[in-house]
Structure 1
Amino acid sequence: MNKHQQSGMTTLLITSMLLIVALLFSLASYKNLFYQIKRTQNEVLARQAHWAAEGGLECGFAEYKIKKNNFTDFDECNTAELELTLTPVTSTEFQLESEIIKSLALKKITKTIELGGGGVVSTLETSASVELKGSQHFVPNSTEDTNNRGEYLCKSITSGGVVSFKYNNGTDDHFLTTDSSVSDHAGGPLGPVSFGCASDYRSNLFDVNHPPTGETISVKGKDIVENATLDIFKSIFGKDISEYSQVMTEIESDPKGIIIGEGVLDRTSSGWVEKCNELVKKSYEEGKRRIWIHGSCALTGNLFGSAIENTADNSVQLIFFDGLVLMEAVSHINGLIYQYVSKDFNSKNGWLGLFDDQTDIGVIPGGFQRHNVVAGEYDKSVINVHGSVYIDGGIGIDAPNKIVNIDGSIIPSYNKGKSSKYIDSLSWQQGSWHDF
């Protein structure tokens, strides 16, 4: 082999090696490129799965909102690739989980649903004690609970204190749990009651020295619950009372909502909203159904119509915030009555103001007089319901260590549809997003 041949082979060998090295670098570069392409594809698939899971949350939220009262499962939203799960956290919170289960990319995200409180669960629910006079026929919440005979474990009154009955001056003065067993004697605002309560969940409470006709033994049944720990505002609105301004703002922004008595000049020196009766009547006539009253309020007459209605379409939500309430023969109320009274509220001064500022308030109480207040008989009283009143819905009162006074021919009936008409709202809980 001559010198030129050796040189050519050396050149060829070097060139081949350079080509091989170049090829190896090229392949390495392509491998990295393929990796980047694959990574991008995976990221796209992951985002698609995330967006699909987000869509699942929104679908599930909408389906639950529509079917909430009769919810069983996510029949409309669940698919072969999407699985939704709803888990209760508290009585007013649920965790909704959306999981992509059959796809090139798997994804699971959760978010918490806040349920505006479920409302009261008794006809009258209060953290105060309850003092009854006159003739009251309470149609209870039948509840969904039954004994082994299929009889309902009814709830009429749930109190944070005690429930007592005092004779007034009538011939049929008593508190009676009104169900189908007493239909020959008493009915509810809409007539005879169709359901029956278990015998130990029925009450016939009266003064044994002045029994109603044909009765001898006063009975306080299990439909009356005493010394209960209650937070009515939380139960109704799903928020702490310290967050009341959020509820008030929500009502004010509702086309059917109105705030009355918010300004200091709207109230008397003792805290009574001036001409509250006229303002409430006018608001109702103008189509307002969610009425927030800031301060004490005295009501009388047919403010909310002259009949108990069969549907919840026209129900009201009456909120009395940090003030006393006088209901003097208010006739008919369809909906929810809620009252909050702060622990330091001076009831005696408030009731004295009712008599001292009659011209500004415009409603005269019929069940008690000024000398009763001076004598200290109403030092703890926060609400006086007097005269003939039919209520179909529910009553909730936050007033620990106070007294609810009901005196007259009062026939209230539990109606969940009416009492919860404006509080069955759902919302996402802020800051509850969990992305796994």
Structure 2
Amino acid sequence: MTTLLITSLLLIVALLFSLASYKNLFYQIKRTQNEVLARQAHWVAEGGLECGFSYLKESDDISSAKTSLSNCEALLNLDVLDIDNSNYIHSSYYQLAKKDLSKKVLFSPESYGAIQTRSDLKLLGGITISPDVVNHISGNNYQCVSVKYSSKVEVIGDSKTNPPGAGYTNVTYSYPNVMSTAVCGSGYNTDTSDFDTDNTPPSLSGPVKKDFEHDPLLDPFESFFNKKRSEKSLLKSEFELVVGSIKPATDEDRCANRINNALATSSKVWVVGDCDLHGDSLGILGIPKILVFENGLVGASGSVTYDGAVYHLIDDPNFYDISLNSRWSNMTSSSFYAHLLDDNSVFFANGAFVPTGGIVFDTPGGVTTYNTSLALTYNRSFNPYAPKYKVQWLKGSWHDF
């Protein structure tokens, strides 16, 4: 009996220890299952972020992407997938486990800057630029770019970058979700005078701030036209072709008149050769259009009104082999500014020639000069070539590699 009693007690103790261990084991199993469900919910929610991001990359536009997000919700059985006005993608899964994820997306246009230049840019007078809006920083602050350049910019006079909406209340920006009350963030609002960006590199704290962006590898052709340089002949087929004019026999034969005749039938005009614009208006105001000047000098004297974009292209390898001075002397308007020309001047505006859709000087080796108080109110919507947007996660997000 003693043996049976001791044996029974030992078995009871063993049973108690077994029950205790099983309880702990059941607890661990439950925790494991909960962790599995939590991770499943996490990855389903992250799948929603990736799905939404993919639609954004395809459409380059938030409003278009929003209409497709229901496909992601149905595919992944998500409860919420949306993009808010601050460019955050929100993904929520509330099934056996709950998970909410939010990540911010940046929209960067591949072609940006109120002025883009591969030539030396000289601004002989005060300038005020309402710049291109590139990226959202935080709150109501945005990254602005006034001039993007690869060579050198010289400003002799006062320079100021106006915040979007400040003094230009009628300007509408095509950057996603930018309101007219947006302002250029600190470090993107140059306000200085008599500086040379070749000697004073742009910085957030320097006199020349980051709205003057230096890019030694700038090559704007493909990002602007969405075509390779090798496809230039195909690109020209989309334009109305015009032969330039510098010494017209009659007023009707002036370069601006030739351009206006072409603009009457097309919003895209391609001018081949030298063109003396004088001070004539170009096209109807308020209608987006684009002018391309190919392998020619461009001169203007007086105020030239133009709502549209301008692309000045020089890609002839022999363009600079012969002195350009004699070609400038044939321009009737050059008598007003001949003393200010450089040996390799390719564009000279002796007055307010201000393309509201932006201007690109794809003229390496040349000098582009504005001899005026330039007030450029940039509006991307006046460019018929809407820029493609590069969509990327905000730096520091989980997909940061």
TM > 0.5 between the two? yes
1:389, 1:409 within 8 Å by CA — same for their partners in 2?
no
Opposite residue 187 of structure 2, the aligned amino acid is D
Moved over 6 A (4+): 79-83
* Deviation string, structure 1 residues 136-190 (Cα, Å, up to 9, x no partner): 11111122231x5642121000000121112xxxxxx312111269x4xxx4595
Q: Distance in 2 between matches of 1:143 and 1:383?
A: 27
* Number of the residue aligned with 1:331: 304
SS of residue in 1 equivalent to 2:326: helix
Q: Distance in 2 between matches of 1:323 and 1:379?
A: 15
2:295, 2:314 within 8 Å by CA — same for their partners in 1?
yes
SS of residue in 2 equivalent to 1:397: strand
1:317 partnered with 2:290: yes
Instruction: Name the CA shift for 1:188/1:163 in 2 (closer, same or farther; >3 Å).
Output: farther
Pairwise mapping of residues 216-227 of structure 1 onto structure 2 (< 5 A)? Answer: 219-227=207-215
1:154 partnered with 2:144: yes
1:198 partnered with 2:185: yes
1:72 partnered with 2:82: no
* Number of the residue aligned with 2:243: 261
SS of residue in 2 equivalent to 1:364: helix
Residue 247 of structure 1 and its aligned partner are, at CA, apart by 0.1
1:165 partnered with 2:152: no
The counterpart of 1:278, out of the listed 229, 235, 257, is 257
Instruction: Name the CA shift for 1:354/1:347 in 2 (closer, same or farther; >3 Å).
Output: farther
* Number of the residue aligned with 1:120: 111
* Number of the residue aligned with 1:298: 276
Instruction: Name the CA shift for 1:77/1:394 in 2 (closer, same or farther; >3 Å).
Output: same
SS of residue in 1 equivalent to 2:365: coil
SS of residue in 1 equivalent to 2:184: coil
Q: TM-score, normalised by structure 1?
A: 0.55
Pairwise mapping of residues 284-433 of structure 1 onto structure 2 (< 5 A)? Answer: 284=263, 286-304=264-282, 309=286, 314-342=287-315, 343-346=317-320, 349-356=323-330, 358=331, 363-365=332-334, 367-369=336-338, 377-419=341-383, 421-423=384-386
SS of residue in 1 equivalent to 2:324: helix
Residue 290 of structure 1 and its aligned partner are, at CA, apart by 0.6
Residue 227 of structure 1 and its aligned partner are, at CA, apart by 4.2
1:118, 1:236 within 8 Å by CA — same for their partners in 2?
no
Q: Distance in 1 between matches of 2:211 and 2:118?
A: 16
Q: Distance in 2 between matches of 1:178 and 1:246?
A: 38
Instruction: Name the CA shift for 1:73/1:80 in 2 (closer, same or farther; >3 Å).
Output: closer
Unaligned runs of 5+ in 1: 1-59, 84-116, 167-172, 209-217, 253-257, 269-273, 426-436
1:158, 1:228 within 8 Å by CA — same for their partners in 2?
no
* Deviation string, structure 1 residues 272-322 (Cα, Å, up to 9, x no partner): xx73222112223x2332100111211133423585x3xxxx111101111
SS of residue in 2 equivalent to 1:143: strand
Opposite residue 160 of structure 1, the aligned amino acid is S
Unaligned runs of 5+ in 2: 1-53, 77-107, 173-179, 196-205, 248-252, 389-401
Q: Distance in 1 between matches of 2:155 and 2:147?
A: 13
Instruction: Name the CA shift for 1:260/1:82 in 2 (closer, same or farther; >3 Å).
Output: farther
The counterpart of 1:178, out of the listed 140, 159, 162, is 162
Residue 388 of structure 1 and its aligned partner are, at CA, apart by 2.4
2:150, 2:218 within 8 Å by CA — same for their partners in 1?
yes
Q: Which has the higher Rg, Structure 1 or Structure 2?
A: 1
The counterpart of 1:207, out of the listed 187, 191, 194, is 194
Instruction: Name the CA shift for 1:393/1:227 in 2 (closer, same or farther; >3 Å).
Output: same
SS of residue in 2 equivalent to 1:379: coil
2:140, 2:182 within 8 Å by CA — same for their partners in 1?
no
The counterpart of 1:144, out of the listed 132, 135, 149, is 135
The counterpart of 1:234, out of the listed 222, 232, 237, is 222
